Structure 1
Amino acid sequence: MNCVIKMSLTDFMKNKRLYEKFQKIFKMPQIKKEKYILVKPKTKNYMLIGTAFDYLLRFYIARHNNKIINRDWVCEEVKGLARFEDDLRETSEEIVNRAKDNYEMYLDEGVLSNNLLSSVILIAKLDGILRSGGVLPNSLDIEPRDIEDLNNLYSVIPKNYFMKNEFCVLNPTFGTASLMVGGADADLIIGDTLIDIKTTINFKFTKEYFLQLIGYFILNELGGIDNFENNVDIKKLGIYYSRYGYLFTFNVSDVVGERDLKEFKKLFIDVAQGFD
């Protein structure tokens, strides 16, 4: 998911002391397979489609799995922004309510409709308002090619990756630990694997992706998951490259030792509390 909140976590991980320790103790995994892009973008609305597909994939997972832990959609918080006029609040409520109706219909029938695709684009625009601190989108109009793009991305979702008889946490936050870094929400957790979704044309596993995933892992270790009583023992981290229909994962134990991880968590807390 491309957003200001997630970048704040990555920026936090780039704190000088934290980053130097990270560089020293973490071994960066490598993608060994060469993949070819399956879904090329139809427009230049890259960030919008990225956020919209985040919602769409989570809807897909909710449709195909029984053990779902969900939270309120980020877009629902827009109506609470005091700077907006009443008509915009009403518009945002209408968009969210319509999206919920289309979502429930999708859960019941499993049919991917243009109404649902339109809804995820609109709630992605609302998402952008909140994550940008209140910057309004240029328009709430929908480009038909964006709907086509989302439909194509949906068509290459590999069923074996996301249809599993394991509990799934959609868009998790990590209690007080998320607040330590200014707020952070991951895309999803399936079983013991935390996954971030990247709707990009670049099939690369970058240092920033690695920092982000390790950041989420540490937050879960420190704060657990909101609205979930049990601790989730995350053992794997991964990126789903939606334009390639490919999920890349690696074991946490393969990239850092237990003793080094313990030291890194302590340093993470110290930096978050301003003791750096």
Structure 2
Amino acid sequence: MQECIQPPTVTTLHSPLLVPSETKNAALIGTAFDYLLRFELERRISFSATRPWVAEEGLQRLRSLKKPPVGPETIRTAEHIVKRATAAHAEFLSTGEPSKDLLVVLIQLAEVDLLIRSRKPTRSRYFGYASPDDVRELSRLFAVLPREIVTAHSRCLLNPTFGTASTAIGGADADLILDDTLIEIKTASSPTITQAYLAQLSGYYILAQLNEPLPTEFSINHFGIYFARHGRLVRFPVEQVLPLPSRMDLIDFFARQLNLPKRADPTT
């Protein structure tokens, strides 16, 4: 797949680092910020389409297992966190105020999310703890949000999955689709568009084309990466990264590998 992907015209942004990483919990803060940004989009954009949180869905699956990979105390803590996050989410949609209580519970919710994805606590002795440093950093990331990342004209899909194509690979969920742009959120300190980022976007794009049925909301003509620590959204055409011949070859290859019907690329 990597040999089919071309770099866009600009691969490194010359943008100042507005929010340096000052804690050891970068993955936790990144996941918490994903939730916070989606909450803000849901609040601002009336036609945004949401789906159940990964933490919510995963916790239901954990509870249903005869032998969960974590103990009952961890599950009870996670349930309490999801309940508090649900209430904080509703309050935020009403007030628009990123209160300290909201930021704390989002750090905790992020840990539940990571627990669901890894099937083990990230910090077994401190599960459910939100450090003040992490909370402050999350607040600063929210403070530098530019208007362009919280604006859409016709389409706003939050944490979308791609139907049968996502199921075929055991689950895959992107960050955002705003209008015709598939966006990944990155909290890396370097604003460099790496090959790994392009491969991730390309993979989601291919899954979107193989989704059954293929709804119009998955029409994607641009890729985007939001560098949260720099407050910068970079956007570029799919065609720059996946020229038509490569794009069709990849769609055909994945259709065969996943035993899914091949579809014509909608941008042709």
Aligned AA for 1:206?
T
**Where does residue 7 of structure 2 map in the other structure?**
28
Per-residue CA deviations over 1:137-176 (Å, capped at 9, x if unaligned) read: 3312111011100000000000133223332111111111
**Where does residue 86 of structure 2 map in the other structure?**
100
TM-score under structure 2 normalisation?
A: 0.87
> What displacement does 1:92 show?
1.7
2:30–2:187 contact (8 Å) kept in structure 1: yes
Q: Equivalent of 1:62, from 42, 45, 58?
A: 42
1:31–1:248 contact (8 Å) kept in structure 2: no
In the alignment, does 2:30 pair up with 1:50? yes
Other structure's SS at 1:97 match: helix
Aligned AA for 2:254?
F
**Where does residue 77 of structure 2 map in the other structure?**
91
Per-residue CA deviations over 1:166-208 (Å, capped at 9, x if unaligned) read: 3211111111111222321101111100100001111111111
Aligned AA for 1:31?
T
CA RMSD of aligned residues (A): 2.0
**Where does residue 134 of structure 1 map in the other structure?**
120
TM-score under structure 1 normalisation?
A: 0.85
**Where does residue 163 of structure 2 map in the other structure?**
175
Other structure's SS at 2:7 match: coil
* 1:112–1:212 distance in 2 versus 1, CA, 3 Å: same
Give the percent of matched residue pairs that are identical in Structure 1 and Structure 2.
Answer: 36
Unaligned stretches of 5+ in structure 2?
A: 261-268
Aligned AA for 1:258?
L
Q: Equivalent of 2:205, from 202, 217, 223?
A: 217
Query: 2-side partners of 1:32 and 1:122: how far apart?
Result: 33
Unaligned stretches of 5+ in structure 1?
A: 1-18
Per-residue CA deviations over 1:212-271 (Å, capped at 9, x if unaligned) read: 00000001111168xx95442100011100000001111012333334322221012223
Aligned AA for 1:272?
L
* 1:104–1:224 distance in 2 versus 1, CA, 3 Å: farther
Runs of 4+ in 1 over 4 A off after TM superposition: none
1:42–1:148 contact (8 Å) kept in structure 2: no
5 Å-filtered alignment, 1:1-276, equals 19=1, 22-23=2-3, 25-29=4-8, 30-31=10-11, 33-76=13-56, 77-81=58-62, 82=65, 83=68, 84-135=70-121, 137-138=123-124, 139=126, 140-223=128-211, 229-273=215-259
1:153–1:243 contact (8 Å) kept in structure 2: yes
Count of residue correspondences: 251
Other structure's SS at 1:69 match: coil
Greater relative CO, 1 or 2 (CA 8 Å, sep 6+): 1
